[in-house]
């Protein structure tokens, strides 16, 4: 599903950026452009970052958040 509408970036691309080392919203933006428009997706990108770096804390969230 698309996380960033402005730049048409799906969660799979953001997860790939995180897997390759992006650890902040800005770094995800640098890697794939997500979050570089209106900024309304920053919270969603943050959820993906948190899920990647602290999965046990949000184990109850769906995998495609
Ligand atoms: S929805 Fe991501 S920058 Fe606008």
Q: Can you give the pLDDT of all 65 residues of the chain as single tens digits?
A: 999 999 999 999 999 999 999 999 999 999 999 999 999 999 999 999 999 977 555 556 666 65
Task: Tell which phi-psi region holds residue 34, choosing left (phi > 0), alpha (psi between -120 and 50) or beta.
Answer: beta
The overall pTM is greater than 0.75 = yes
Cα 4 to middle of ligand 1, angstroms:
5
Domain membership of residue 64 (yes or no) is: no
Q: What is the pLDDT of residue 63?
A: 62
Domain membership of residue 65 (yes or no) is: no
Cα 41 to middle of ligand 1, angstroms:
5
- Ligand 1 and 8: CB distance under 6 A: no
Domain membership of residue 63 (yes or no) is: no
Domain count, the chain: 1
> Please, are residues 32 and 13 in contact by the beta-carbon 8 Å criterion?
yes
Domain that holds residue 16: 2-58
- Ligand 1 and 38: CB distance under 6 A: yes
CATH number at residue 24: 1.10.10.1100
What whole-number distance in Å separates Cα of residue 52 and Cα of residue 46?
A: 10
Domain membership of residue 10 (yes or no) is: yes
């Amino acid at each position: 599903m698309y996380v960033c509408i402005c730049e048409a970036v799906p969660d799979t691309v953001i997860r790939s950026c995180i897997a390759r080392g992006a650890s902040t919203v800005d770094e995800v933006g640098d890697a794939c452009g997500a979050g570089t428009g209106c900024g309304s997706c920053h919270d969603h990108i943050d959820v993906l970052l948190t899920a990647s770096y602290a999965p046990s804390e949000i184990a109850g969230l769906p995998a495609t958040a």
